[in-house]
Amino acid sequence: MRDGRIDTLLHLYEDGAFSRRDIFERLTRCAGSAAAATAALASAGLLHAEPACPADVRVPEDAPDLQCESFAIYSEAGPLLVYQVRPKQAGGAPRPGVLVIHENRGLNDHIKDVTRRAGRAGFVGLGVDLLSRQGGTDQFPDPEQATAAYNRTRPEERRADLISALLFLREQSYVEDGRVGAVGFCAGGGNCFDLAVNAPELNAAVVFYGTPPAPIEQIARMQAPLLGIYPQLDRGTTGRVPELLTALLAANKTFGVHIYENTNHAFHNDTGTRYDRAAACDAWSKTVDFFARHLGA
């Protein structure tokens, strides 16, 4: 049986946590030889995969059209670390808000970049650090450590922190009519589902390859319109789309679901090996349009 740590390393590599050199070195140490490391990469279909990132996807930290800042807000467990991005255009007029919910490696540079993309699209983006109760993502510079820290969090803690961030954003004068949506990726997609079924204040939810809630009947409590983004080859999450559709239809919810042909888990993450430029760009365009439609932008 293959060492479980190998599977964790491969998953992190797919999500962009390691460079090609880093993953090979870690797999060699874990598996015991370079040959075994190569075999592990090959078995996962990653031996020849190379990340691709067009120059115009990422938004620089010092983008002149954005105001970016990190600070802490109040939560039931103490300081909750967030990364906020506000657009400077439109004369400072209030804009709808969007919570950005990270994968299982914390509020890292990639998720901060996605938060800036939300700001550039005209929303007030707020990336929430769900490792705040353990000191914050910055305390875990190694992706394996960050993942281990995330695995120590509990669903009810993550839900409470996301609700605190949601209520904070709704109360800000620069957020238009207190209207806030949420987008989550991978583990963050599951957390986005959980927020949607437990926070009636949420106005829209976009889930990228997130596991639907269990039991699925919880969907009936969801009030926010939902957009689900799924990759065809990710059987673990996309395999549950049929029961999700059944539950959404039975509860007469407002929703859309898009499955991208020949894509895999984490296809939106431009730092990872599964990145698919065409699918990622189309999915983000659909996300922005969905928020514009349901948040009143």
Number of domains in the chain: 2
Q: Confirm whether 52 is domain-assigned.
A: no
Verify that 221 and 85 share a domain, yes or no: yes
Give the pLDDT confidence score for residue 127 in this predicted structure. Answer: 98
User: CA-CA distances (angstroms) from residue 152 to 141, 147, 156, 190?
Assistant: 16, 9, 12, 16
Which residue segment(s) compose the domain that 20 sits in? 4-43
- Alpha carbon of residue 269 to chain centroid: 9
Q: Is residue 58 part of a domain?
A: no
pLDDT tens digits, one per residue of 62-73: 999 999 999 999
Tokens at residue 207, please? Answer: 């889930």
Same domain, 212 and 169: yes
pLDDT at 76: 85
CA distance 91 to 186: 35
In a domain, 134, yes or no: yes
* 121 and 35 within one domain: no
Q: Does residue 48 fall inside a structural domain?
A: no
Residue 49 lies inside a defined structural domain of this protein: no
**138-165 burial, b for 16+ CB within 10 Å, e for fewer?**
eebeebbebbebbeebeeebbbbbbbbb
What's 170's domain CATH number?
3.40.50.1820
* Domain match, 170 and 28 both: no
Residues 78 and 224 grouped into a single domain: yes
Q: Residue 91: which pLDDT band, with cuts at 50, 70 and 90?
A: low
The one-letter amino acid at 247: A
The proportion of the chain whose per-residue pLDDT surpasses 90, expressed as a percent, equals: 81
Asked if residue 56 belongs to a domain, the reply is no
Measured at the alpha carbon of residue 113, what is the angle toward residues 107 and 117, in degrees to the nearest 5?
Answer: 125
| Per-residue pLDDT tens over the stretch 223-275 | 999 999 999 999 999 999 999 999 999 999 999 999 999 999 999 999 999 99
Does a structural domain hold residue 231? yes
Q: How far apart are CA 296 and CA 129, in angstroms?
A: 27
Q: Are residues 202 and 259 in the same domain?
A: yes
Cα gap 112→117, rounded to integer Å: 9
Q: Is 155 in the same domain as 17? A: no
Question: 164-167 contacts: CB < 8 A, separation 24 or more?
Answer: 164/73, 164/74, 164/75, 164/76, 164/80, 165/73, 165/75, 165/80, 165/82, 165/99, 165/126, 165/128, 166/99, 166/195, 166/199, 166/201, 166/202, 167/201
Q: Flag whether pLDDT at 1 surpasses 60.
A: no
49 CB neighbour count, 10 Å cutoff: 17
154 and 18 in a single domain? The answer is no
pLDDT tens, residue by residue, 160-173 = 999 999 999 999 99
- In angstroms, the CA 134 to CA 22 distance is 26
Tell me the pTM.
Answer: 0.91
Question: Quick check: is 249 in a domain?
Answer: yes
My answer on whether 73 and 27 are in the same domain is no
221 and 256 belong to one structural domain: yes
Residue 99 sits in the same domain as residue 184: yes
pLDDT for residue 36: 83
Are 15 and 101 members of one domain? Answer: no
